[in-house]
Structure 1
Amino acid sequence: MKKMMVILPALTLLASSLAGCSSGNNNESQATSAATTTGTASAKPSGPPTTLTVEIFDRGIQGQPDLNNNTWTRYINDNFGKPNNAIVKFVPVPRSQEIDKLNVLMAANEAPDISFTYDSPTISRYSKVNGILQLDDLLAKHGKELTNYLGKTVLSYGLFNGKQMAIPAKRTSLAWGGMFIRKDWLDKLGMPIPTTKDELYNTLIAFRDKNPGGVNGVIPWGLAATGFNYNTGNLSESYWEKQTEEEFVTAPNWLKPGNKDALKFLNKLYNEKLISPDFALDKTAKQADADVTNGKVGFFSANWDYPLRQNISVPLKTNVPSANFVPVDVFKNYEGKYKKIAYNENGVNVFIPKSSKNAELAIKYLNWMSDPKVLFFLQYGLEGVNHKMVDGIPQVINQTGDNMQTSYLNLDLTLVVNGVELGDQQKNIKALAASAPGLEAVAEQSYKINTTDTYTGYFFDTPSESNIKFGKTLGDMNKQMTDKLIVCKPAEFDALYDKLVAEYMAAGGQAVMDENLKIYKAMQANKK
């Protein structure tokens, strides 16, 4: 089941960790001395400098630095720009509107020379309409270090119809979601950590009836609207029955045997007041965050490291010093395994628009960035200024101003990698855990749980026209259907489920499934 596809009824979203204390900004000379010019031309080009435009997410972080003039962008221009007689200019794109904004820029032939998206169907669409460059020759000529760093497997996720249309970043952290429970509440009730659905159900009832936290409005299971953090974890997977690989990767989750029972279980929990009462209205997850940090929530599912992040752990510890969330695995399937989705080895998709006049320079830039010294500086900066070493592992010193990172380890700048990159996976995991001071052991335990019994999304190497056409509509329907089914009256559930699934299939679900099956069979035939 290594390459299997799932569109979960409750999707988890990636959230970025932020940085935020203080430091000066006069460290350009030190930064330059730590730089490398790998991948630059042997002879410095002459004439007016070329402007290389690069997309960057504007995450709207309070107090963020100028996205074109800060410690990190000056390092890039000093150590790649100057040796290549180039100016690297960053083009901010609002994170919440990235697809819409990118589509506008592409239609106007104004997209940055280096653009990116996490949305693979968008790459499929651009590839289909011949809007982006084929990169095979450019990589062969100017991307040796980049190709060696990413490797064949990661690069394969950027192949469409056998051609390299995108450069996927290497994803070093494969854990996706996670589930967490208040251990201090369990201790008060004299209850063990649950390991099965039934045990969790009994625990949630005890949280509701005995309110071990003594709070007003106790919430046994914290949930937000589908599509945001505070989801249903791998509950659905625990109900799915045995299928062939072909059935599993080509059919929508709504048709998987057992999926209906999974939603019916959630409906039961909601009607027994075991789930956040107004979760469907919480479309930003801000209410769920408030409930968790105010000590009202006993159990929830989100990103594998969510309760360890400082925007959750710090206010929770301030409000409820005794609060102690620990990771759990409770949804066991028919095989006796806790099947859960994990990330594929690929991350963000980087591409070069057909309108770009600087494709060669763009590949040189990504090639330069793949150097370990460059990646380390962009992620950690200078020792004593941007990070400190603890037991051989760098730890970011949170800062404001020029030194602030507006995304976790500057992932919006390190376009060849998603996640910590220290050249060794065990060190990477230790570094991930180090981002949660005082909770390192909990972080390592959560990462281990959520990279066990995993499967990954199946990669279709041919653009699906039906998915391009209906994908957004079906994605929106997924969210609405899930929320409606959780909150409806139990007596209405069966009829509503069947009605909604029929509407989903008629709205494009059947067309997507049929084309998935066609592409899957063609891929299998090509392997023979």
Structure 2
Amino acid sequence: MGFRKGISILTISAAFALALSGCTSDKPAPSASTAPTASSSPSDSGEGGTDAKLEALGLDSNLKFKETRKITVEVYDRGNDGGTKPEDNFYTTYIKEGMLRDHNVEVTFVPVPRWTETEVINNYLAANQAPDVSLTYSYPTIQTYANMGGILDLAPILAENKELFPDMFEYLTETNIYWDQDPATGTLWALEGRLNVLNRINTFVRQDWLQKLNIEPPTNLQEFESMLRAFKDNASTLLGADADKMIPFSTSFDVGWRADHLTTSFMPNDLTDKDIYVNGFDDRLFLMPNYKEGIRTLNKWYNEGLVWKDFPLYPAGDTTEDNLMKLGHVGAFMHNWDYPYRNGDDSIHASLQRLVGPDAAYVAVESFPNDAGVYKKFLSGPIDRKVFFPATNKEPIASLLYVNWISKFENRVFLQFGEEGVTHEKLPDGSLKTIATTGEKIMNSPANIDYTITSNGINLGDPDLTVKSIANGYAGVDSKLIEIAHKITTNDGRIGKNANVGQIKAEDGQGQALKEKRDTILNKAVVAAVDKFDEIYDSGMKDYLNSGGQAIIDERKAAWEKTYGTETMLK
């Protein structure tokens, strides 16, 4: 009952003031170095005792509001064929009933298109219509509106009321909760969700095509290129009457993500943490040294007819490319680490096997060593989506109780696996295996990631069971394919670190604009004639830097040196 202690009258007044005013508190918040620790407990001083303090918040001793509170919560809409309405389905009902039962909080879900989430949440914030519990992958978006008074500062609320949210603190830990806290001002605009599995990207090739052409899985760039040319030259053997539909290598408009293993292989192995921080504000690593040469290689492939010629034409969320893979026309691609195996009966893998045959499959390969002969992977830190509350949120305590509820072990495991015997089975070794499901209990996203907003990736509390359950989680897929993909995606990985140097003002409002410029530059550069590549790439980069990119680099460099001096590596 430790949470009953120490909800001071000051805290209650501050919480209500924040909620009603829609502004951040002017009370100094703790710096990153003074964030409350697991052993700390709020003072239990104050008039009226613990019950009176809870009473002032409208809570009973079980943290249930005496009068029903109402909050809105963002959920991604992926527009899945055969899926359910993301805001109204079996899993939203589970959450709604649970929050009403446990805290007397009524939850309404607000769908936001997954593939344009940054633009849409920008629009909601600008119109003062963002959901009470919002999320985004774009921290600069949050920072931009925080600077205008549009985001709630969570630091004072958490500092005083920490013990109201034990599951959130236990699961996310101080690291993720205070990851984004400004070291100078102490403000905390967002909580970082937990990335349980650092798996990111893989390079996939048609295993059956390799076997048919008697080619070993490629282990370097030259072998990979030779493989692509072999696919093209043997199109009739591999595709028969559909030979003219051959696509040796496929990518999408998001070249930065989809060519990651290729581009990162051109980066120097000896990059420092400072290099990565100063130049790494673009999450596609667009500004890293020698990145251009990776794109030059892709340009060469394109001009040889080895790359899907129409890739720039299809926007985010379009299924054309997936359908080409399902039809068996694509020889190789790079994508999310388990991409061809996702979505059960509608997966690329299942569709390919139904149409082409039981031997047809994509397998992950490791083909791009860097200058030190290392298959370097640049991995994220243990953070994921950023959960934040807009200043229009009038129920910060209820909203944090929601984040706590969604972080509770039994709740997130149910959301990730669903009902035993329906959406999963428990194997003799204790691991869980998902069951392909249709109808009301289908999951619109892998392991219901769109509802487990503080959790990306399975976590069963036991590392061995977790790994086994991950491998079990792909209906109709040979577990060996998953094991290979799981091993390769983090091999020689370099995990991201938290260079907490405070706000970079040059990034304000630039996230979406620079992202769009980057995508345009890369698309134009890949499809350019070989003799025009340098001109197009360099002029695009110049425009990108002049449009705010260089200012961000300069400010990041200065902030690093102010915080860390001459050090180039983080501990």
| Interval of TM-score (by shorter of Structure 1 and Structure 2) | 0.7 to 0.9
Cα distance in 2 between the residues matched to 1:227 and 1:68: 31
Deviates more, 1:487-496 or 1:61-70: 61-70
Q: Which letter does structure 1 place at the counterpart of 2:260?
A: G
Change beyond 3 A, Cα 1:316–1:226: same
Which of the residues 516, 521, 528 maps onto 2:561? Answer: 521
Partners of 2:118 and 2:512 within 8 A in 1: no
Partner of 1:268: 300
Q: Report the 3-state secondary structure (helix = DSSP H, G, I; strand = E; otherwise coil) of the residue aligned with 1:88.
A: strand
Q: Which letter does structure 2 place at the counterpart of 1:424?
A: D
Which of the residues 137, 144, 147 maps onto 2:169? Answer: 147
Q: Which letter does structure 1 place at the counterpart of 2:149?
A: N
Partners of 1:308 and 1:439 within 8 A in 2: no
1:277 aligns with 2:309: yes
- 1:69, CA displacement in angstroms? 4.7
Q: In the TM superposition, what are the counterparts of 1:92-491 in structure 2 within 5 Å? A: 92-139=111-158, 140-161=162-183, 162-211=186-235, 212-214=237-239, 215-217=242-244, 218-226=246-254, 231-241=258-268, 242-251=270-279, 256-284=288-316, 286-309=319-342, 310=344, 311-321=347-357, 322-391=359-428, 392-437=430-475, 438-457=477-496, 459=498, 461=500, 462-491=502-531
- 1:359, CA displacement in angstroms? 0.8
> Taking every aligned residue pair, what percent have the same amino acid on both sides?
32
Q: Flag the structure with more relative contact order, 1 or 2, with Cα contacts below 8 A and sequence separation at least 6.
A: 1
Q: Report the 3-state secondary structure (helix = DSSP H, G, I; strand = E; otherwise coil) of the residue aligned with 2:265.
A: helix
- 1:114, CA displacement in angstroms? 1.4
Q: Report the 3-state secondary structure (helix = DSSP H, G, I; strand = E; otherwise coil) of the residue aligned with 1:220.
A: strand
Q: Report the 3-state secondary structure (helix = DSSP H, G, I; strand = E; otherwise coil) of the residue aligned with 1:276.
A: coil
Cα distance in 1 between the residues matched to 2:369 and 2:106: 54
Cα distance in 2 between the residues matched to 1:188 and 1:443: 22
Q: Report the 3-state secondary structure (helix = DSSP H, G, I; strand = E; otherwise coil) of the residue aligned with 1:455.
A: strand
Instruction: Render the CA deviation track for 1:386-418: whole Å, top value 9, x for unaligned.
Output: 321134222333334432322222222222211
Instruction: Render the CA deviation track for 1:37-75: whole Å, top value 9, x for unaligned.
Output: xxx953575754211222222333345445555332333
Partner of 2:552: 512
Partner of 1:20: none
Partner of 1:79: 98
Unaligned stretches of 5+ residues in structure 2: 1-58
Q: Report the 3-state secondary structure (helix = DSSP H, G, I; strand = E; otherwise coil) of the residue aligned with 1:234.
A: helix
Cα distance in 1 between the residues matched to 2:89 and 2:247: 43
Change beyond 3 A, Cα 1:187–1:46: closer
Q: Which letter does structure 1 place at the counterpart of 2:482?
A: A
Deviates more, 1:512-521 or 1:393-402: 393-402
Partner of 1:55: 74
Cα distance in 2 between the residues matched to 1:270 and 1:128: 43
- 1:508, CA displacement in angstroms? 1.6
Q: Which letter does structure 1 place at the counterpart of 2:125?
A: M
Instruction: Render the CA deviation track for 1:472-505: whole Å, top value 9, x for unaligned.
Output: 2221121111122222122222233322222221
Partners of 1:338 and 1:453 within 8 A in 2: yes
Cα distance in 2 between the residues matched to 1:394 and 1:476: 41
Q: Which letter does structure 2 place at the counterpart of 1:50?
A: R
Q: Report the 3-state secondary structure (helix = DSSP H, G, I; strand = E; otherwise coil) of the residue aligned with 1:450.
A: helix
Q: Report the 3-state secondary structure (helix = DSSP H, G, I; strand = E; otherwise coil) of the residue aligned with 1:160.
A: coil
- 1:280, CA displacement in angstroms? 2.2
Q: Which letter does structure 1 place at the counterpart of 2:564?
A: Q
Cα distance in 2 between the residues matched to 1:200 and 1:68: 44
Cα distance in 2 between the residues matched to 1:514 and 1:187: 50
Change beyond 3 A, Cα 1:47–1:190: closer
Cα distance in 1 between the residues matched to 2:562 and 2:238: 56
Instruction: Render the CA deviation track for 1:329-357: whole Å, top value 9, x for unaligned.
Output: 11100111111222321111111222222
Deviates more, 1:103-112 or 1:432-441: 103-112
Partner of 1:33: none
Cα distance in 1 between the residues matched to 2:431 and 2:423: 13
Partner of 2:543: 503
Q: Report the 3-state secondary structure (helix = DSSP H, G, I; strand = E; otherwise coil) of the residue aligned with 2:106.
A: strand
Cα distance in 1 between the residues matched to 2:61 and 2:273: 51
Partners of 1:342 and 1:454 within 8 A in 2: yes
Partners of 1:429 and 1:444 within 8 A in 2: no
Change beyond 3 A, Cα 1:277–1:98: closer
Which of the residues 527, 534, 537 maps onto 1:494? Answer: 534
Unaligned stretches of 5+ residues in structure 1: 1-39
* TM value normalised by structure 1: 0.85
Partners of 1:226 and 1:480 within 8 A in 2: no
Cα distance in 2 between the residues matched to 1:145 and 1:256: 38
Q: Report the 3-state secondary structure (helix = DSSP H, G, I; strand = E; otherwise coil) of the residue aligned with 2:243.
A: coil
- 1:133, CA displacement in angstroms? 2.0
Q: Report the 3-state secondary structure (helix = DSSP H, G, I; strand = E; otherwise coil) of the residue aligned with 2:61.
A: coil
Q: Which letter does structure 1 place at the counterpart of 2:371?
A: Y
Deviates more, 1:352-361 or 1:443-452: 352-361
Q: Which letter does structure 1 place at the counterpart of 2:538?
A: D
Q: In the TM superposition, what are the counterparts of 1:33-44 in structure 2 within 5 Å? A: 41-43=60-62
Change beyond 3 A, Cα 1:163–1:148: farther
User: What number of residue pairs does the alignment pair up?
Assistant: 488
Instruction: Render the CA deviation track for 1:277-320: whole Å, top value 9, x for unaligned.
Output: 22222334533222222222221111110111242112111121
Partners of 1:117 and 1:349 within 8 A in 2: yes
Cα distance in 2 between the residues matched to 1:52 and 1:520: 39
Cα distance in 1 between the residues matched to 2:423 and 2:230: 46
- 1:519, CA displacement in angstroms? 2.3
- 1:328, CA displacement in angstroms? 0.4
Cα distance in 1 between the residues matched to 2:127 and 2:321: 40
* TM value normalised by structure 2: 0.79
Change beyond 3 A, Cα 1:351–1:205: same
Q: Which letter does structure 1 place at the counterpart of 2:432?
A: P
Change beyond 3 A, Cα 1:181–1:130: same
Deviates more, 1:505-514 or 1:376-385: 376-385
Instruction: Render the CA deviation track for 1:351-398: whole Å, top value 9, x for unaligned.
Output: 122222211111122223322112222222321233211342223333
**CA RMSD between the two structures:** 2.6
Q: Report the 3-state secondary structure (helix = DSSP H, G, I; strand = E; otherwise coil) of the residue aligned with 1:505.
A: helix
Instruction: Render the CA deviation track for 1:404-463: whole Å, top value 9, x for unaligned.
Output: 322222222222211212112333332222222332221121111111122345655423
